[in-house]
Amino acid sequence: MESVKVLKVLIVDDSMIMRKNITGNLHFLGHEIIGEAKDGQEGIDLYQKLDPDLVTMDITMPGMDGITAVKQIKKLDSTTNIIMVTSHGQEEMVMEALKSGAKGYMLKPVSPEKLREAIGRIYPELAAVVEEELIEE
C-alpha cells in the first residue's frame, strides 16, 4: 500500500476529555497530534509555533471562542485548514465559523467516522485510503 500523508494536527478545546477523545480518534486514523490548546488564544499561539496541517477547533470556549480564533489564525495563514467541533443547536455559530474561514465542521460526539469524513472533505486523497484501512481491521 502506498504511504498515506500523516497530518500534523493541533487540537483546540477547553474540555480535556474532548481533547483526549479527538486525540484517540486521530491516532486511530494514523495522524499525529503536535499540540493541544484549551482556548482560542493558546490555539493561536501554538498555531504560530507548530505550523499544523489541520486544526480542530471547539466553537464555545472561555476566554477567546473558536470563531474569533479562526479569524485570527486565517489572518496569519489564509490557507490553513480548520475543522470546527460543535454541539447540536450551534448552527448559526457554525455558519459564522465557515464564513470566517473554517473548512468544515463535525458534531459531537466525535468518532473516527466523523473525523474521517471531515478530513476527507479537505484532503480527498485521505478519505478512500483510510476507508480501506477501517474495512481491513
Per the structure, the count of domains in the chain is: 1
Helices (H), the chain: 16-28, 40-50, 66-76, 91-99, 112-122, 124-136
Mean pLDDT of 93-98: 93
- pLDDT number for residue 5: 81
Tell me the pLDDT band of 91, cut-offs 50, 70 and 90. confident
Residue 51 falls within a domain, yes or no?
yes
Residue 26 falls within a domain, yes or no?
yes
Tell me the pLDDT band of 128, cut-offs 50, 70 and 90. low
Residue 109 falls within a domain, yes or no?
yes
**Owning domain of residue 74:** 8-131
Residue 2 falls within a domain, yes or no?
no
Which residues neighbour 131 within 8 Å (Cβ) at sequence distance 6 or greater?
116
Residue 16 falls within a domain, yes or no?
yes
- pLDDT number for residue 38: 96
135, pLDDT greater than 70: no
Mean pLDDT of 32-48: 97
Least confident span in 27-31, 75-79, 84-88, 127-131 = 127-131
74, pLDDT greater than 70: yes
Q: In what order do the strands lie in the sheet with 32-37?
A: 32-37, 8-12, 54-58, 82-86, 104-107
Q: How far apart are the C-alpha atoms of 119 and 106, rounded to whole Å?
A: 10
Residue pair 102/74 in contact by the 8 Å Cβ criterion: no
